[in-house]
């Protein structure tokens, strides 16, 4: 959406992707994880056994405690609504210089998409506090 892609092109569609890859989507709340029995107990009383458990808790953008994060033209991005707001701003204001604070997965993905829009002539910088991109995902050797 930010880079001018239609929402369907930019977002994974679980309705088709999950079944095609043998993934069952269960919408429920986890009440308990029994590591000894290797099972998850759901709010509706159901129990799901597992061999390996991955906790995908979701997240919210971390906004650093610095001046200016509340100014016009400063955004966080975690949802389609956020992407639409950024896209609308870019269409209306036509900025030339884009700065991404944080070299996490979403920042790098969007920065690459925007940079590929050569016809728009965007200048893109990514600023990261740590000494490598994707600092929470890659070990230092891979991130170097």
CB neighbour class for 32 (10 Å; exposed up to 12, middle 13-18, buried from 19): exposed
Confidence (pLDDT) at 42: 95
Containing 41, the helix (H) or strand (E) segment is strand 39-42
Using pLDDT thresholds of 50, 70 and 90, give the confidence band for residue 144: low
What is the tens place of the pLDDT at every residue in 86-103? Answer: 889 988 988 889 999 988
Identify the weakest region by mean pLDDT among 1-5, 26-30, 61-65, 117-121.
1-5
Kindly write down the DSSP assignment for every residue of 107-137, as one continuous string: HHHHHHHHHT-GGGT-EEEEE-SSSSSSTTT
CB neighbour class for 37 (10 Å; exposed up to 12, middle 13-18, buried from 19): exposed
CA-closest candidate to residue 98, choices 130, 65, 70, 120: 120
What is the tens place of the pLDDT at every residue in 50-66? Answer: 998 888 777 778 888 88
pTM over 0.95: no
Does 105 score more than 80 pLDDT?
yes
Q: Domains plus CATH for the chain?
A: 59-143 (3.50.50.60)
């Amino acid at each position: 959406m930010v880079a001018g892609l239609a929402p369907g092109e930019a977002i994974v569609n679980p309705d088709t992707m999950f079944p095609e890859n043998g993934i069952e989507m269960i919408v429920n709340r986890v009440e308990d994880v029994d590591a000894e029995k290797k099972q998850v107990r759901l709010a509706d009383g159901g129990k799901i056994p597992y061999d390996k458990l991955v906790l995908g808790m979701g997240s919210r953008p971390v906004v650093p405690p610095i001046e200016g994060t509340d100014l016009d033209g400063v955004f966080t991005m975690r949802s389609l609504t956020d992407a639409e707001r950024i896209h609308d701003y870019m269409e209306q204001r036509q900025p030339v210089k884009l700065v991404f604070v944080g070299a996490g997965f979403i920042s790098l993905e969007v920065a690459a998409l925007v940079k590929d829009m050569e016809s728009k002539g965007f200048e893109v910088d990514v600023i990261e506090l740590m000494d490598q991109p994707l600092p929470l995902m890659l070990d230092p050797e891979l991130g170097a």
